[in-house]
Amino acid sequence: ESGTASPDWGVYRAGEENVTAVTMATAPEPLANGGNYIGLVQDIDASYSGASIILAGATSLQNYSIEGDVYCYTNDPGGSAYTGLAVYSDSALGTYIKLAADFDTIPRPRFRLYNNILDMTTFEYTFHHEFIADSVPGGIPTVDGWHHMKVEVRTINDTTTAFWCYFDGQMLLGCPIYDTGVDQMDSGQFGLYSFQMDGVDGIPGYFDNIVVNDLTTSVEDNSNGSLPEEFALEQNYPNPFNPSTRISYKLSTGNHVSLTIHDLLGRKIKTLVSGFQSAGHYSVEWNGKDELGNTVPSGVYLYSIHSGGYVISKKMMLMK
């Protein structure tokens, strides 16, 4: 909101135009929760065939998420137009990975998670996954507009990288997606991506509310020096409780973990954990508040953990 882009952002390729801060009025439509300024990313002179990739952070970064509000295009009259987020990118290695909102009807509207390395034998990218309409909770938009995108990336080992992709707060079905190919990246910068190949210029990509989080920071507690042999969810303590309680659980293998609170009608109250976690002992506190920070009323609540196709639920009571 200073009216100037952070100097931490840099171009992927020499000669590219860097991200600039422009007024909200520059965008095709205002962002409801935006401020006075937003970020603009564009290959203005089509010097790189309409693609613009802006990066920040160190190339050694691992295990993080990037999310933000992205203006997405559908069937732009100037030709195929994509905007999205980049992860695990390194200009020195000539590789960037992006989740792009490719909402053109030809060949089909989709999200594409892929790198930029083309196999000249198959003429396909060496890492490429599509999320088509059936994989998108709520469906793929049919009109241009602002949407919230998020990518979580984690290095599983030296041959496997995993990705979790989200759109408007919902995880795309089929995640995690694993890259085990010859061009697999196990670290890299995060960034913003915009593309349109029309021979004149690239599509303007508009971005706001960019947040990057370190996924290595967790509630993990392996102080006992041993890893659990089973997947388990403990009874919260204290129970009944007021105003807060602690929930502990064990993971025998690393996986994407979701720990949520629901009322007895099945309505979600709070998400306490959502992301990849390694095998270990974990503990997290719930303060009796919902996603908006409001204190919930007294009553019985369900807390559930989902991991690797397994689900365990238990009840707890809030008393005031």
Quickly count: other Cβ atoms within 10 Å of residue 27's Cβ: 18
Strand, coil or helix: what is 150?
strand
Distance between CA atoms of 193 and 115, rounded to whole angstroms? Answer: 12
Look up tokens 């507690």; give the residue.
221
* pTM of the predicted model as reported, rounded to 2 decimal places: 0.71
Distance between CA atoms of 181 and 188, rounded to whole angstroms? Answer: 16
Distance between CA atoms of 195 and 128, rounded to whole angstroms? Answer: 17
Distance between CA atoms of 103 and 109, rounded to whole angstroms? Answer: 4
Token pair in block for residue 238? 């204290």
Contact 59, 187 (CB under 8 A): yes
Contact 33, 209 (CB under 8 A): yes
Residue 176: cis peptide before it, omega within 30 degrees of 0: yes
The gap from C-alpha 177 to its chain's centroid, in whole angstroms, comes to 12
What pLDDT tens digit does each residue of the chain (320 aa) get? Answer: 789 999 999 999 988 999 999 999 999 999 998 989 999 999 998 888 889 999 999 999 998 999 999 999 999 887 889 999 999 999 999 999 999 999 998 889 999 999 999 998 988 999 999 999 999 998 999 999 999 999 999 888 889 998 989 999 888 998 889 999 999 999 999 999 999 977 778 899 999 999 998 876 444 444 444 556 788 999 998 899 998 898 999 888 888 899 999 999 999 999 999 888 888 888 889 999 998 889 999 999 999 999 888 899 999 999 98
